[in-house]
């Protein structure tokens, strides 16, 4: 069983603060995806990282894939209330499995207070 340990599980911060969410595994993934999910909706893909050591930026969000492709992080700079939501990491392609058969972390519930 491939597991993705995501931390922290809960994060409550003030507007303007920075934060980092971590995703760790003992398995090597072909790619790792980050999703954001709002209440009553399905997850929406934010980014996919593929290459070990890869860094991708999406406005105030920075995503990094570990060199060994076993871990990843999401860093948000100057968080805003609109960033509030459930953030999920998901690994794909471990052990030759289908790319769509994703292994999800437990999620991080982020609350940004104005």
Binding mask 52-81 for other proteins (x = CB under 8 A): ------------------------------
- Is residue 109 part of the contact set for other proteins (CB under 8 A)? yes
**Chosen residue from 64, 76, 103, 112 binding other proteins by CB under 8 A:** 103
**Chosen residue from 94, 102, 110, 112 binding other proteins by CB under 8 A:** 102
The first and second tokens of residue 108, run together, are: 């991080």
Whichever of 43 and 79 has its CB closer to other proteins, that residue is: 43
Q: Is the peptide bond before 71 cis (omega within 30 degrees of 0)?
A: no
Task: List, in order, residues 6 or more apart from 9 with CB less than 8 Å away.
Answer: 106, 107, 108, 109
Whichever of 40 and 114 has its CB closer to other proteins, that residue is: 40
DSSP 96: G
- Is residue 25 part of the contact set for other proteins (CB under 8 A)? no
CA dihedral 36, 38, 40, 41 (to 10 degrees): -40
- Is residue 107 part of the contact set for other proteins (CB under 8 A)? yes
């Amino acid at each position: 069983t491939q597991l993705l340990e995501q931390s922290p599980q809960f994060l409550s911060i003030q507007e303007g603060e920075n934060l980092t969410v971590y995703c760790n595994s003992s398995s090597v993934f072909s790619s790792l995806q980050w999703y954001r999910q709002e209440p009553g909706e399905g997850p929406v893909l934010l980014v996919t990282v593929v290459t070990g050591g890869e860094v991708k930026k999406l406005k105030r969000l920075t995503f990094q894939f570990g060199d060994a492709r076993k871990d990843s992080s999401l860093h948000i700079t100057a968080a805003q209330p609109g960033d509030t939501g459930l953030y999920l990491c998901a690994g794909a392609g471990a052990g030759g499995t289908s790319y769509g058969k994703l292994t999800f972390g437990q999620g991080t519930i982020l609350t940004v207070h104005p």
